[in-house]
Structure 1
Amino acid sequence: MLFCPQQLVRVRLQALLSAPCRSPGYWHRSSWTLNTRHALQHALNHTSTIQQQGGYERTAGDITTESSESEPKQDATTGNSDQVASSSRRTYKSVGPRGVPKMTVKKILFREGLRTSYGATVHQRLNHEIQREGRKLSDKSIAIATSTRGKSIYSAQQSSLKTWQRAYEEVYKAKHYKRKINDPSIIPVLNKTGEVLLAKIQEDCSGAFAKFWHTSERDVKARHWQALAFWLLQNDVKLFLNFLIVTMKGTERPDFTMVTDCLLYVDNFYYEELKDWTTGRNSHGYPWVIEYCLRPSTWPVVSPPQKGIRLYIRRARPYGVRLAFRTMKARGIQSKPETQLCFVNRFTQLGDANRALSALKLLPRLKDPAFTMDAQGVLRHCCKLLTLDTVEDGESGRNFRILPKLLEMGVRPDRDMMNVVLANAYKTGDHELGADMLQFMTSQDYTFDSYTYVTLLTNAVLRGDQARTHELIREVDTKEEIRKNPYVANKIFHAHYVFTAKHMDADVDPSGVFYSMLDMYNKLHDITPLKELLIIPPHYKAREEGANTPPTPMALYIMIATYFRCGSRISTVQRIYSRFAELVKQGHPTIAPLAATDHTYNEFLIALRKSSRAMHSCVRIVEDMLQPRADLAIEHAKPSYRTWAILLSVFLWHRRPAAAEKIREMMAKHEVPYNDVTWNLIINGYANAQKVQETAAAMKAMEAQGFTLDSYTMKSLRYLRDPERLWVAVDELDHAAQEADFAARSSTEQSPAAIEDALRDDLIEKGLQKLGDKNKAQD
């Protein structure tokens, strides 16, 4: 029995199996929250460090148990990660830098249904990378790394990767420097069979070629893939993407390094051309191609091409980015500091602060001296992350949500970070919190820069604090470098506009306000664009010290708004709009950018809405905004809710209810929701037209949608000649609503009883009728 063939096979199969892996533990780190100011003080006085767990240096990929998220059950595109994950439960002993035994590699290849004859090459490449990187892999990571290497069509050809690298470098440099290839002999060329395959690709890539490719032997694929890839990259990049999609299907795939190089070439030189490109029946776009061809399930565990991973992170859709982050930690894929910061940046763009913090937390464990928590590159990412910060109420009181966690990681805030913290404090609407942060910056001798003063001026103007605004302007005047900063200058210019032209006093001369703003503008910017817009009076003489700097869109908008608010005839406004539309159509370098937002269009509407003769001009402006403008170099702004609200107010103001109703229908068609501004304009129009019932109904509808009656609403009611009738109408509506509600509840509550009574009466009546029939029969 010992030499029984069946027994021998059984023993050999049992030897291939291993014990199930132990459940990994979880590493926890206690969290703490300090008062914001005390936490900042603590961070400046102490350098926090994070203890390194274990007896060997780990990479971010090795920290697989620190994630609160489990490995995805299914890959986003192929759905085959369950197979790898489940098979990796049959584990081997963890292997250190000395490498993986050859027998272990062959067992894994056999279990995955791959050729064990590739075991020697896969074993050699894997151990070389492990020893070079000094990695210690878990048994699960070893299984995934071996499986990934074994599925490459170049598993048995180590020289093919060297050939590829030399050829790719030459092709890339030739494209980058726009020159011819210096040594064409190193570029793989198509033989006769390759030319036949190329014809199949050009004729029907997803049909005839795909069928041939998936039925071919691995050595055939390896022989032709490089030559086809190079030809398509240099001659038809869109066809190359279709070719890559086909060859990335199935178990046997091109080497991940080669795929990465190809897509980096495509992304660097053709992204603008391909970002809106689609392919296939499902119209898959360029991001999908990146997600599919660089899917995380194909990433090598040891020494993966980090540029390819970062390309995936940059271009993938939100779900793909989250999948990549989970997969890297769950599978122990090696990571670099630049890749972790790429995750931080991408999650920040997606507004996912929690995952951005999780990626940043892994950075200290890479022990790279160039990427410590106080490195400039890391602090810049922290600044961007802090733009997502909010204030929340906790056990220790009101505090920021993100800032304490950054301080806990050992981040020492610099001035740029504190500028963002200061801006966040003011954004909360809590002026005291902002003042506290400002006092802290002063006590710690932070030097205020242009960003700081822009933040302070913005807050002062927003609160309408003229005294504080003038104090800051005087402070800026003493600092020449900051005074000349264009952002600070524009903010000061805007402050003068808000406190003079926008909210003009009744006893102020409008022309004096306009010329005052014009003189200030002339000191900052070139006056030529204003002349081209025909809003400079002929008798105005520009100052000799006027600047030649082209105006920013904000400065130009302020001057247009000032000109209209300081008084101008309707015919003049119409003439200026015609000139403005003409310059926008021509793509004027300074004036055309104004069309990218709705602000300038809204100013034209506000200037025209007081005249009943200009209603058609108002409609024309909105029509111009709705018209597709593919000929413009910039994206033309669509009407915002404020634009629609102003147009609606035009017809309400001039008592054209039918036209106003059409505007409301158009708003519904374009899915423009009502907000407090829209409702206040509607109420203003009804009140001005002395429509008491409609005004009351609009007020009730406004409250029903969750908006409260504010000072603007009350101001609109001044137009009513008999305000008492309004409150009577509101009371009547309330009473009618209460009666309707009571009737509905009564109907709901009494309906079953009423039905039961009706049925009972019907049964009684039928019973009496039957009884009467019986009595007649007996008689």
Structure 2
Amino acid sequence: MLNDFLKANRKDKDIQESRQYLGRHWEVFFEERRNENQGRQGSNGSKRSRQMESIANFDPSVDVYDLQLEWKNIPRKYRRNYWPGLMLDILCKRPDDALKFLVATTLADPLPNRACIEDSLDYIVEYHLYRQSRSPITSKNFAVLFEAINNLLTKFIPSKVRISSYAIYHICKHADRIQAETLLETLSRRGQEVNPNLRLHFVDFLARRGATDSAVTLLGSMHRDKVVDFTEPRVTSICATLLRCSQQNPDAIHSESHIYSLLLEWGIRPSIIFYTILAHNAFESWDHETAWKIYDMIIENDIEPSDHTYSIFLHNAKLRKDQEALENILNGVKANNIRNEYVATDLLHAMLLLHENQARNLRGDEARASSESLFQRMVLLYSTYFELSPLEDLAPEYFTLDRKLSPEAEGRRMHPDCATLSLMVSTVIRCRVEQSELPLFYNRFKGLVDAGHPDFVNVATEVNVFNAFIKALGKDRDTLPFSTQILGDMLGAEASGVKAQSTDIESNDRKRMVSPTVQTWSILVHAFMTQGQPRAAEKLVAMMRRRGVDPNKITWNTLITGYLQMQNMAGAMHSDDRAEEGGLGN
């Protein structure tokens, strides 16, 4: 049985050189045992056999030092000979206990065969960290495994106990920052050679865990040893990771700029990847000026920005509502013929945000004209990148264009994803649909969802669309009551004070829509308070709490402000008291 287990668990490793897992040296044990059994001529029940059986069946709860004493009771000359068979038996039948057996039996001389120890460590590491991937090891259990293995490596020189690159790789994948640095230090101190491939893995692991200085030092040693080519794509990728993750550790000796200068010195070729990372890090450090200088440098040096480059600069321009920066990005996107759905959607969103910021003080016909102008520009931009057909299914009167695209341009248009469609539906609600037409427009949208339209079923999972409907409906006393019907649809069932629209669709099918968030409830509260209906607003607060949604600071401030505008000091103070009780006081 053990021989079958041995053969079944031989395999090539992914890391380091190709070698046999549970190698041929284990066969020596079986050959010796066959010869020994022939020489004994069938003698059974010896004291030694009982000792071996006791060891093989040790109590998992036994202290490791008690197990060591039991192991020492076996005559020294037999320990090395019988260790492989005992270890194979434990690996086969009770692998969870194999590490304890390994630790206990290496505390006493003579040590088992080095190659057998290495194979056993491989199997133990794989069993705990790879084979049980459906039930990942806990950090507490991994700490026990790590400490035991690291202690073995610390105690014995490589000629006595060795660990394979395969095991090191899997340990590193699960190690935290301190554990990864400890293992690297242990390997360095004991002088165990680590191949270049594994050293690169170490650089990657260390960088991702914020061990910036250790990662830079290791990469520098590889450069000095001339075992790494910084022009290789994989090495470039790891260097990019190191640069990107350098932000995680502000106390590191090596700053981001120093790391980049070192990489250039070692042979990294400047590329858009590194420029983008430098800009991204600058944005995260709130150093917008440096980031935009990097963008200017990219353009001046005729380096073609990537989709990701445009995305991060566009995101920053949106946050700052910088009209000039957005126009620069839009010109770059058009000039470089960028066809990326995320970049295009970000551009559309930026147009909407800028409009809302600029039109904040507009009223009446001027506000209406501005909104219609924005909407037409957004539809034109949208149609440049995306298919219009899903939106035409919803509202052809708003989304049909007179101009015809060439077959080539038509073929390059992308199918819009959920986020893009949600943005455009929200925009038409804000900018084009007349107040009195909002209920009819919502029913049209809901009809597509109920009918299972492949695009709008997904849009119904986006809360922003429903929030846009409710916010728009809440602007007028006549359409305000309809907002509670939308709330009923989102809740998916009739509730006290709120009724979903009548429909032939069963309740379970109707619950295709996203549930209301605290923002949704707050928008409703604001609408009713603005329209002078505080009792309805309070009912909504009570309902959201019953449904497990706690009011946030915006909810309470909406109530307080509403009561103050109604000159209801008692209501305002009561709302403030409730906010204080929830830890959200001003």
Bin of the TM-score, shorter chain as denominator length = 0.5 to 0.7
Match among 348, 351, 357 for residue 496 of structure 1: 351
1:296 aligns with 150
Match among 204, 210, 223 for residue 85 of structure 2: 223
Whether the 8 Å CA contact 2:13–2:166 is kept in 1: the answer is no
State the one-letter code of the partner of 1:621.
M
1:662 aligns with 542
Match among 352, 358, 374 for residue 214 of structure 2: 358
Question: Which secondary structure state, in structure 2, belongs to the residue aligned with residue 369 of structure 1?
Answer: coil
- 1:311 has 2:146 as partner: no
Task: Give the 3 Å change call, closer, same or farther, for CA 301–212 of structure 1 in structure 2.
Answer: closer
Per the TM alignment, residue 468 of structure 1 is displaced from its structure 2 partner at its CA by 3.6
1:560 aligns with 425
Task: Give the 3 Å change call, closer, same or farther, for CA 687–308 of structure 1 in structure 2.
Answer: farther
Task: Give the Cα–Cα distance (whole angstroms) in 1 for the partners of residues 391 and 332 of structure 2.
Answer: 30
The two structures have a TM-score, normalised by structure 2, of 0.62
Per the TM alignment, residue 311 of structure 1 is displaced from its structure 2 partner at its CA by 1.5
2:490 aligns with 621
Task: Give the 3 Å change call, closer, same or farther, for CA 372–548 of structure 1 in structure 2.
Answer: closer
Question: Which secondary structure state, in structure 2, belongs to the residue aligned with residue 358 of structure 1?
Answer: helix
Per the TM alignment, residue 555 of structure 1 is displaced from its structure 2 partner at its CA by 1.6
Task: Give the Cα–Cα distance (whole angstroms) in 2 for the partners of residues 378 and 695 of structure 1.
Answer: 62
User: Which runs of structure 2 are paired with 1:328-339 in the superposition (5 Å)?
Assistant: 328=187, 334-339=193-198
- 1:260 has 2:260 as partner: no
Q: Deviations along 1:618-646, whole A, 9 cap, x unmatched?
A: 3763789xxxxxx9xxxx99977655644
Task: Give the Cα–Cα distance (whole angstroms) in 2 for the partners of residues 301 and 579 of structure 1.
Answer: 71
Q: Deviations along 1:56-111, whole A, 9 cap, x unmatched?
A: xxxxxxxxxxxxxxxxxxxxxxxxxxxxxxxxxxxxxxxxxxxxxxxxxxxxxxxx
Task: Give the Cα–Cα distance (whole angstroms) in 2 for the partners of residues 695 and 301 of structure 1.
Answer: 74
Per the TM alignment, residue 223 of structure 1 is displaced from its structure 2 partner at its CA by 0.6
Per the TM alignment, residue 698 of structure 1 is displaced from its structure 2 partner at its CA by 7.7
1:415 aligns with 272
User: Which runs of structure 2 are paired with 1:33-52 in the superposition (5 Å)?
Assistant: none
Task: Give the 3 Å change call, closer, same or farther, for CA 686–268 of structure 1 in structure 2.
Answer: same
1:150 aligns with none
Structure possessing the higher radius of gyration over alpha carbons: 1
User: Which runs of structure 2 are paired with 1:53-92 in the superposition (5 Å)?
Assistant: none
Whether the 8 Å CA contact 1:648–1:664 is kept in 2: the answer is no
State the one-letter code of the partner of 1:313.
C
Whether the 8 Å CA contact 1:287–1:317 is kept in 2: the answer is no
Per the TM alignment, residue 205 of structure 1 is displaced from its structure 2 partner at its CA by 8.9
Task: Give the Cα–Cα distance (whole angstroms) in 2 for the partners of residues 452 and 523 of structure 1.
Answer: 21
Instruction: Name the structure, 1 or 2, with higher relative contact order (CA <8 Å, separation 6+).
Output: 1
User: Which runs of structure 2 are paired with 1:449-598 in the superposition (5 Å)?
Assistant: 449-480=306-337, 483-499=338-354, 506-508=367-369, 514=375, 517-527=378-388, 530=391, 535-537=394-396, 545=410, 547=412, 549-566=414-431, 567=433, 569-570=438-439, 572-573=441-442, 576=445, 580=449, 592=458, 595=461
Task: Give the 3 Å change call, closer, same or farther, for CA 527–360 of structure 1 in structure 2.
Answer: same
Task: Give the 3 Å change call, closer, same or farther, for CA 530–540 of structure 1 in structure 2.
Answer: closer
Per the TM alignment, residue 521 of structure 1 is displaced from its structure 2 partner at its CA by 3.3
Q: Deviations along 1:636-695, whole A, 9 cap, x unmatched?
A: 99977655644654565542453365378579x778864xx5565455444454445665
Q: Deviations along 1:554-599, whole A, 9 cap, x unmatched?
A: 3233223223323362464366458658969xxx69964984x765
2:96 aligns with 242
Q: Deviations along 1:401-443, whole A, 9 cap, x unmatched?
A: 5333443574655431221212333444444333433344455
State the one-letter code of the partner of 1:655.
P
Task: Give the 3 Å change call, closer, same or farther, for CA 645–489 of structure 1 in structure 2.
Answer: same
Whether the 8 Å CA contact 1:418–1:441 is kept in 2: the answer is yes
User: Which deviates more, 564-573 or 575-584?
Assistant: 575-584
Whether the 8 Å CA contact 2:471–2:523 is kept in 1: the answer is yes
1:41 aligns with none
Aligned residues: 486
1:750 aligns with none
Task: Give the 3 Å change call, closer, same or farther, for CA 255–321 of structure 1 in structure 2.
Answer: same
* Residue identity (%): 17
User: Which runs of structure 2 are paired with 1:204-215 in the superposition (5 Å)?
Assistant: 206=60
Whether the 8 Å CA contact 1:296–1:327 is kept in 2: the answer is yes
Match among 291, 296, 302 for residue 434 of structure 1: 291
Per the TM alignment, residue 546 of structure 1 is displaced from its structure 2 partner at its CA by 6.0
Task: Give the Cα–Cα distance (whole angstroms) in 1 for the partners of residues 584 and 287 of structure 2.
Answer: 22
2:505 aligns with none
State the one-letter code of the partner of 2:117.
D
Task: Give the 3 Å change call, closer, same or farther, for CA 370–322 of structure 1 in structure 2.
Answer: closer
Task: Give the Cα–Cα distance (whole angstroms) in 1 for the partners of residues 121 and 254 of structure 2.
Answer: 43
For structure 1, the 5+ residue unaligned runs are 1-159, 174-184, 194-199, 233-239, 276-284, 625-630, 710-779
Per the TM alignment, residue 617 of structure 1 is displaced from its structure 2 partner at its CA by 3.9
Task: Give the Cα–Cα distance (whole angstroms) in 1 for the partners of residues 550 and 188 of structure 2.
Answer: 42
The two structures have a TM-score, normalised by structure 1, of 0.49
Whether the 8 Å CA contact 1:213–1:221 is kept in 2: the answer is no
Whether the 8 Å CA contact 1:683–1:698 is kept in 2: the answer is yes
Task: Give the 3 Å change call, closer, same or farther, for CA 211–403 of structure 1 in structure 2.
Answer: closer
Task: Give the 3 Å change call, closer, same or farther, for CA 362–171 of structure 1 in structure 2.
Answer: closer
State the one-letter code of the partner of 2:416.
P
Task: Give the Cα–Cα distance (whole angstroms) in 1 for the partners of residues 375 and 138 of structure 2.
Answer: 51
Task: Give the 3 Å change call, closer, same or farther, for CA 357–551 of structure 1 in structure 2.
Answer: farther
Task: Give the 3 Å change call, closer, same or farther, for CA 702–384 of structure 1 in structure 2.
Answer: farther
Task: Give the Cα–Cα distance (whole angstroms) in 2 for the partners of residues 661 and 301 of structure 1.
Answer: 68
Question: Which secondary structure state, in structure 2, belongs to the residue aligned with residue 371 of structure 1?
Answer: coil
Task: Give the 3 Å change call, closer, same or farther, for CA 221–378 of structure 1 in structure 2.
Answer: same
Whether the 8 Å CA contact 1:553–1:594 is kept in 2: the answer is no
